[in-house]
Structure 1
């Protein structure tokens, strides 16, 4: 019990550490697992590990726990692939998916076979495992580097879409191995078994998605049971597919998630949020445990020139070849192509699927030779080598490399709004008149409908959630205006998003108490200089008014600026010569010559 609790606690600590130092969580998860596992043998008198996953789960129980955990992770990954979101990602990303899968699969297998001396069956499986990237590793890296919008869009969408594609490719390759004979790569028997296994997965996943859609759309489940029942559906689908054909469960739950993601289910967002929480728990526990299971001998097998050469070929030969084939004839510059070629971190799906396949191949489930069993033992350390190598190397060098190539983004002039309230939409509509990018975030369907009516881009849901921070493109939005009617939410919004944008880039409405603070110093970064709260502003903007703008003819210091602003009915923001906007607040130091102030004049 103590070891199990230790694994879970250390997993959560690794997740927090990754968030705190702004690196993908998979890196501290693996490193902590290695520290309490193989590396800890140097500090014990009998050479035992501090924590060993094999002592917690024995035999088939370990296999079943990992198998089901990876299935749930792949289901959640499948639910992230929404086809309607892929229509606008551009031909470059589609080509990256095609060439990335094909070149990495074929080139990686050939390189692994000749460099490491591994048979083609295991080599193809390894190359399939390293196709994936994933938003959990690429997201933190992009937020740290801040590349320009074109690079950001390409890498972000490649990371989202390649996860289920790569996982599906790895599952199909593994299923083909299971369906074959020990010494033959392609046989009629293997093809027949592969087809049956694939059909079992597709049919099981399709049936599960159909039933789930019907149940949810006909509201046959109360809200408080939806998430847990869907979790039960996923587990049942996994088990049912395995009954139809052994080892088809992973394919079934991946297909299940992908179909469900593209169906018209009203409560899909809450289901996905719940699955993300479950996946976080599983990942935290799974990778610390699996890392702890490795032995020093597994790591020593990689301490040679061959593994280093394989890493170089995969990262610095195959990846640039993928990007070159995908970007020919596009408008991307050579500097942008070089940087995209440099960024290819591997993530959680690769580690999870590699761990599961290693267990299966080394426990005699697959029809492979004893020599191939020994080769299969290298799958996990090889995959971890690629993951740790890419995350560490690219995490440390990507930002200076981007600055060297001059592909970092300029200061974005877009404004993100917390709350599609009457006040927020009022400011957003004015900003749109001056061609300033805006986006409003809200959980209220009524507020979002009003935003859509005015053709204002929306983020449906809370911008404060981890998922929102992962998905919002901050390359376009450099400031936050918190404009909800709830002051606590506004304060929380500024505190949360300031970690992404910086404290001097987040602003909020004043509370009623702050408006009435005449003798005390008010907090900085209050919109409208803290003179109006939500209710006061709502009352003001309902009056007849005109949006005015004025070109500033001379630079004014802070005192002159305040005197000037006091003469205007409702100053809103200032547009600088580079089309950058700053709101009118008490932290405004000066107004420069050439700036344009936008204000509201109320009709008498």
Structure 2
């Protein structure tokens, strides 16, 4: 089998089985992430060998980044700003104090239970601070919870993704710097975290404002193209932020 044909089959299987898992999960009333994980293992190179992500090469990383941008955007659309304002205190605590507590506890567990070295334990602990809408929102669709609690959990899941992901990248920069892989300064470490959040926030706010202005002009964007324009806008905003500060 040629590389081109193998790549075509990999993409087709991934898309087809992924959507199939979503449909079956909806029918069985279980979180889709459960079936997606099972199918991912079964169809991957370790078992059936139908899906080979390595065939995508460097394109795999690009696809993952674009998919994450869409997932966060789609998840945020389910948030009601009025509910989020009422839950602002709790959400703020979860994405600040909660992140630190989770980071410290996860680091200690993998250090003293898993036997990791301190740099790797600290990095692993930062990765464990993320929940994310792909996990929390499917669960909330299956479990009845009070509206206020639902707003807290959804708000935390969506906002913690960029906070935790950027934290992991910043921690990795620091770990590599301390190991001598590249030069590191204290202000460089601070900018690695807060600079990324600031850049992403400003570019996202500007892109959201421009999209909202565009959609208010009904003569500019036909109704049948609005979904595509929104998707393209999300990807352009992400690409600009990534170009400014990866």
Residue deviations 1:342-389, cap 9 Å, x none?
xxxxxxxxxxxxxxxxxxxxxxxxxxxxxxxxxxxxxxxxxxxxxxxx
Distance 1:192 1:89 in 2: 29
Distance 2:137 2:228 in 1: 25
| Aligned partners of 1:100 and 1:131 also within 8 Å | no
Seen in structure 2, the aligned counterparts of structure 1 residues 12 and 124 have a Cα distance that, compared at 3 Å, is same
| Aligned partners of 1:134 and 1:162 also within 8 Å | no
Offset, 1:121: 3.9
Distance 2:23 2:132 in 1: 27
Offset, 1:95: 5.7
Residue deviations 1:29-63, cap 9 Å, x none?
1101111225526xxxxxxx2332223x12x1111
TM-score, scaled relative to structure 1 = 0.35
Distance 1:206 1:97 in 2: 19
- Greater mean alpha carbon deviation, residues 13-22 or residues 26-35: 13-22
RMSD, matched Cα: 2.9
Residue deviations 1:123-169, cap 9 Å, x none?
232222247752212321x15xxxxxxx5445533331121122022
Offset, 1:93: 7.0
Residue 68 in 1 paired to residue 66 in 2?
Answer: yes
Seen in structure 2, the aligned counterparts of structure 1 residues 187 and 124 have a Cα distance that, compared at 3 Å, is farther
Residue 125 in 1 paired to residue 126 in 2?
Answer: yes
Seen in structure 2, the aligned counterparts of structure 1 residues 158 and 15 have a Cα distance that, compared at 3 Å, is same
More strand by proportion, 1 or 2?
1
Offset, 1:196: 3.2
Offset, 1:114: 2.6
Counterpart among 156, 163, 166 of residue 157 in structure 2: 163
Seen in structure 2, the aligned counterparts of structure 1 residues 121 and 102 have a Cα distance that, compared at 3 Å, is closer
Seen in structure 2, the aligned counterparts of structure 1 residues 131 and 229 have a Cα distance that, compared at 3 Å, is closer
Aligned to 1:107: 105
Aligned to 2:231: 231
Pairs within 5 Å for 1:338-349: none
Aligned to 1:180: 174
| Aligned partners of 2:44 and 2:50 also within 8 Å | yes
TM-score, scaled relative to structure 2 = 0.79
Structure 2 spans left out of the alignment, 5+ residues: 1-7, 179-183
SS at match of 1:180: helix
Aligned to 2:77: 79
Distance 2:212 2:23 in 1: 35
Pairs within 5 Å for 1:532-571: none
Pairs within 5 Å for 1:224-263: 224-246=224-246
Seen in structure 2, the aligned counterparts of structure 1 residues 50 and 29 have a Cα distance that, compared at 3 Å, is same
Pairs within 5 Å for 1:451-466: none
Offset, 1:90: 9.2
Rg (Cα) greater in structure = 1
Pairs within 5 Å for 1:178-327: 179-180=173-174, 182-184=176-178, 187-219=186-218, 220-246=220-246
Distance 2:104 2:170 in 1: 16
Residue 5 in 1 paired to residue 20 in 2?
Answer: no
Offset, 1:224: 2.0
Offset, 1:182: 0.9
Distance 1:199 1:191 in 2: 12
Seen in structure 2, the aligned counterparts of structure 1 residues 105 and 111 have a Cα distance that, compared at 3 Å, is same
Offset, 1:79: 2.9
Aligned to 2:50: 50
Distance 2:146 2:46 in 1: 37
Aligned to 1:601: none
Distance 1:237 1:207 in 2: 9
Offset, 1:26: 0.6
SS at match of 1:134: helix
Seen in structure 2, the aligned counterparts of structure 1 residues 50 and 233 have a Cα distance that, compared at 3 Å, is closer
Residue deviations 1:505-562, cap 9 Å, x none?
xxxxxxxxxxxxxxxxxxxxxxxxxxxxxxxxxxxxxxxxxxxxxxxxxxxxxxxxxx
Q: Which has the higher contact order (CA 8 A, sep 6+)?
A: 2
Distance 1:31 1:91 in 2: 37
Offset, 1:91: 6.9
Pairs within 5 Å for 1:381-460: none
Distance 1:186 1:114 in 2: 29
Aligned to 2:141: 139
Offset, 1:233: 1.1
SS at match of 1:128: coil
Offset, 1:186: 8.3
| Aligned partners of 1:105 and 1:131 also within 8 Å | no
Aligned to 1:361: none
Distance 2:84 2:105 in 1: 27
Aligned to 1:479: none
Residue deviations 1:432-457, cap 9 Å, x none?
xxxxxxxxxxxxxxxxxxxxxxxxxx
